[in-house]
Structures are given as C-alpha cells and as structure tokens.
Structure 1
C-alpha cells in the first residue's frame, strides 16, 4: 500500500484556503484581500505577470510569510498562527523555483531529511517512504549520487521529492518548470500528473501556460495583488481582463 497518498481531509472543507489575505511591503500592496482555496485532490494553476503576488501568496499559505490581515485554513482548521514547520506536518508541502538541495548529501539523504521534517514515522517506515518517493520522482537509480552532481532536471525532481516526502495533502509548486527544455518540462508534467493521481492537491505557479494546463483543472489569474479571474482554464485564458493583464502584456 502506498505511503505517499494524500492524508485524508474533511470532504466538506477545502484542503487549503486563504481568506481576505492582505500584505503590504511599505507602501506597496502585495496582496489585496485575496480569497483562494484548493479542494482535496484538486489541481489549481496560478498565472499572472511578474509582481502580481503569486509567490507571496504561496509563502503566506505555507506559513513562511505572515499576512497583515486574513486567515489561512487547512481542512477547515485556522492555522494562521502556526509556523511553517507545523503547517508542513499538517499536510502542506512546497517546492521552490530554484532547487537548493543539500549538496554534500546524497539524493536519498536529502529525501530522508524531508521525511524527518514533515512526518513522525519509524526508521524503517522512513526508508520505505524514501524509496517510494524516489521511484515516483524518477530518482531511484540516483539514490546514492551526491546532490551537487545532478543536472537541472534531476535537481528539480529532487526538490519535488523532498516536498513529497513530507506526506503532503497539498503540494505548492513555484515555477518548477523554469529553465527546462520542452522535453524536460514534459517529463516533469508526467511526474506531477502521477502525483495528482494519488489524490494529492496541487497548487502550481507557472509561466509556461501550455505546460500548466496539461495538469490543472482550474486556473487562477492574479494581477497587482488581486485575483482577477478564477475558473476553467479555457475560460480564464480567454477572459478579457486576463488577456490585458497577462497574456497581452508580452509575458
């Protein structure tokens, strides 16, 4: 039986939600009364021009950034005051745009850190989870390779594996396709589709829209700290406000 499948959540509540999220950096309004949610097992993409507030939103949801106003909920529970590591243990995993593995450690050791950080399992179960995660992310043959010897695609796979190792119910992905060739991006999409098939919720920020829409069922577009469109990908991408703010802006 898989140890990587999503943790159960209350079916009547979003797996992860932010309500009325606002954040200022000095005079700059980065988030402006943002409401956002992802259901259990749902895949949601987030697009928008640079500076729209996309990565800041993920940081607030994950607990790395404290909002000025608003609340964050996991499975209906208010976790606004919980630190990042506690939200991780409640089922929120995050993979970053620029992979920063522990270079002097092996691929397996990097994933083991993720298991130890996000879960409370026995030593035997921890290694079993590591092996399963490495297989899912296409890294099992590189388990004993030092992380600092990996190419970009495999570093991104390792970034994804470390997040997956925490046992998330929702994975927050921040432009993990950036810098990859089209062929490499397609390989990464196949992996993310597989994870989604396990019932793991996905929130994916990505500028490569044609890659994103292969996975997500819902698309959110942000501009100037606000959500300006939210719905089926085709409808959002044809929305006049989205075309003006993002697709028509040369991004």
Structure 2
C-alpha cells in the first residue's frame, strides 16, 4: 500500500540528551498505527516532529510524496496533518461552533459558507451540535475531548495525530470516544495514536510501534508487540523466569 506518512531517521536532542535517536516510521494510507512505550520514550516528541512543532537535528518527514520537513505546523496542517492533544485547550471565550470554525477557515482554508457547513457537519459527527452555542470553557472533560477531536477534524486531515486522548475518561466515556475514532478511520483518515489505555487502543489500531530510549524497539501486529520480551522489559525491567505473556503491559 501507499505510504501517507514517513519519518526517516529522525534525531532530536535537548542539550546532551537524545530524545529521538534515528527513528524511522511509516504509515500507509488508511492505516491506524498505535505508538506505545514507557514514560520518556520519545512518543510525544515523535508527534511533535510529525506536526512540525519540533525540528529535527537530522532526518526528514514526508506527507505522501511531499517533503514537509522544513514546513511549520500551520503549513503542515493545511497540507493534511491534524492533531488532538492530551489536554484540550479550546478558545474558552468562543463558542463550540466558533472553535471549530477557526480550523475550518484557517486550516482547511474554506470560504466562510463552506466553513460553516464543515463545522456543522463535524459537530454533528462528534455529538456536539446541541452544544454549538455554548462557551467552550463551560464544557466537561468528555465534551472538551470531543471538541479537541472536532477541531482537528475540521481542518480536513489526511493524517490525524492523537496524543492520549482517552486520558482521564471513564471506561464508558473512552468507549464512546473510540466509536467516534472508528468512524473517522472508516472515512479514510490515517491515524497515529499514542495511548496508555491499552484496551482502548487495541480496538482501533492495525499495528503497534513501541519506542524506548528514543528508538523503535518493536513494530508489528499489536498482540505480538505487546507480548515481545523486549517490549515488556522496557516497561517492567528484566523479570527472569517470567514469560512475556504473563507480564504484558
């Protein structure tokens, strides 16, 4: 299948600390990829590199066949890289509708009438249309998470980056969010998702990549990656005499 996203030998350092150490990543068109790893493995930095929020000391980023390495986040958004953050930060004084209009007009660069149409469609899809005229700062956590996703979708992404979007939600709320993400994926959007809530992640992704120490240590079918001794060791440390399947993270 055709690659929609490629990261080639990405290196990111802060002073003497290397956060990403030659990371290679590929996502095929329509694929849902999960990214896992212990805290400090470099997962969010990898999303920052893809989105253009962090520059690489080495390496390149391609969206489809275009080298976007030197483009800033706004330019990458316009080309089809969308992102939803772990901690939603909507424009609190704006309404839910106005929050979604911003990326529709400036990310997707739609004219006003079409931007309103896009915003209404996305709000309906995300279950937020009844709240369209509410100020964003009055929303509860689940609705703020949905709004975060709606803002990313309003820009019309070809690749959607999700950073622990299920964090802080109850199991029932997480399942509702997963249903929405599955709908997004069914529409053809490729997904790269960092998540610690593993049962949520496994409902969506085709493939898992595990990072540790800024390097890819496993890449493959989700269950096989989670059962890999190297992956389990990255989470728990060496456990002599215990089989990997007994200590899957």
Q: TM-score range, shorter-chain basis?
A: over 0.9
Task: Report the equivalent of 2:226.
Answer: 237
Match of 1:89 among 74, 78, 97: 78
Q: Deviation of residue 21 (structure 1)?
A: 0.1
Superposed structure 1 runs of 4+ greater than 3 Å apart: 247-251
Number of the residue aligned with 1:212: 201
Q: Give RMSD over aligned pairs.
A: 1.3
Show structure 2 runs of 5+ residues with no match. 239-246
Question: Following TM superposition, by how much is the alpha carbon of 1:217 offset from its aligned partner in structure 2, in angstroms?
Answer: 0.4
Q: d(CA) in 2 for partners of 1:226 and 1:132?
A: 39
Given the two structures, how large is their TM-score scaled by the length of structure 1?
Answer: 0.93
Within 5 Å, which residues of 2 pair with 1:36-47? Answer: 36-47=25-36
2:42 is matched with which residue?
Answer: 53
Shift of 1:77: 1.1
Q: 2:153 aligns with which of 160, 164, 167?
A: 164
Please list every run of 5 or more consecutive structure 1 residues that lacks an aligned counterpart in the other structure: 1-10
Distance 1:96 1:17 in 2: 21
Query: Distance in 2 between the 1:40 and 1:93 partners?
Result: 15
Q: Note if 1:28 corresponds to 2:42.
A: no
**Paired positions, count:** 240
Report the equivalent of 1:221. 210
1:108 equivalenced with 2:108 (yes/no): no
1:4 — aligned with what?
none
2: CA distance between counterparts of 1:246 and 1:88?
33
CA distance in 2, matches of 1:59, 1:116: 23
Structure 2 Cα separation of the partners of residues 205 and 37 of structure 1: 15
2:26 & 2:106 partners in 1: Cα distance? 25
Q: Does 2:196 correspond to 1:195?
A: no
When Rg is computed on C-alpha atoms for both structures, the one with the higher figure is 2
Whole-Å Cα distance in 1 between the matches of residues 18 and 12 of structure 2?
6
The residue matched to 1:246 in structure 2 has which SS? Answer: helix
How much has 1:246 moved relative to structure 2?
A: 2.0
Equivalent in the alignment of 1:7? none
State the TM-score, normalized to the length of structure 2: 0.94
- Who is 2:124 aligned against? 135
1:147 paired residue number: 136
Query: 1:135 Cα deviation (Å)?
Result: 1.1
